[in-house]
Amino acid sequence: MKIVVDDKIPYIQEKLRLLADEVVPLGGAAICASDVKDADALIVRTRTLCDKALLEGSKVRFVATATIGFDHIDADYLASAGITWISCPGCNADSVAQYVESSLLLLQRDRGLSLGASTIGIVGCGHVGSRVKAVAERLGMRVLVCDPLLGHADFVSLETIAQEADVITFHVPLTHEGAYATWHMADEVFLHRLSRVPYIINTSRGSVVDNVALLSALQEGRVRDAVLDVWEGEPDLNLSLLQRVMIGTPHIAGYSADGKANADNMVIDALCHHFGLAHPGKVVPPSLPADFHYTGDPLELYNPLTDSDALKANPSKFEYLRNHYPLRRERFDV
């Protein structure tokens, strides 16, 4: 059995080598048709487009993306070719919630936002949004949730979010069609409807927020400040927007070691099930250094300003910063 795997997926190769005769790690963006022609399985991240051009005529019968998002997977083609595929929904939901919590604490510390006296509008309440809702409630915030696909009676409209929220955070997939398409959900029209000059947080997909419109809203004072982990056109960023936002990071909100291990385990579980393989055991993320000092402040575990400073100093290293991300844990007592 041969498995081709993105070489930037951490912790997983040791387990794969217990399952396959040949494991070939490659750069995700560089994986091409000749690489997978005689492979049985392909394991990727978002940088590998899994479509007909890559997979036609190959032996691949199983594709896994170790990510929540799957807009790089041509599901229609894979279905027509009889190729099973999976993503990892919810794998890094707690990691993104940690990122949002730390960002909210920084808005309170550095921008004077009183969390207990503020309203947060959460757009999308799936795996990630539901965790962010729990975080915001624990911080004492008034919480409004907009998610028409779930349709809960206590959810509100996007218009209500625009009118009442002091912080607006997006946790939706990127979709281009249908009644609830999310591409440019936060566009010029939406940003002109904002009543409370809010903070904007986006950790979903870059094109959920119109980056040009957001920069104008920031410059004109319609948005107070912003926290962006995802960008239109990444890794080629709007540099003016990057320097204007309070926190700008290289698509790493979900990059905790815990979230990565969760994705690894979901991939391995599905791979073993598909091919009828004996399970090699769970992936366990590395521990924090023994000399790590923790007093209970969540910002000691993770402060996104560190990642933001690194990206603002070297925007051209967007991919490098993602691919060489340091150890980050969600909890100290593990």
Q: Which residues are catalytic?
A: 205, 234, 251
Residues 285/329, Cβ–Cβ less than 8 Å: yes
- CA distances in angstroms from 2 to 6, 56, 205, 285, listed in the order given: 14, 17, 32, 25
- Residue 57 CB neighbours (<10 A): 10
C-alpha angle 110/116/120, rounded to 5°? 85
The neighbour count for residue 37, using CB atoms within 10 Å, is 14
Q: Are 16 and 34 in contact (CB under 8 A)?
A: no
Nearest CA to 67 out of 44, 85, 95, 50 is that of 44
Is residue 50 within 8 A of residue 35, CB to CB? The reply is no
Distance from C-alpha of 113 to C-alpha of 138, rounded to nearest angstrom: 16
Token couple for 48: 């590998």
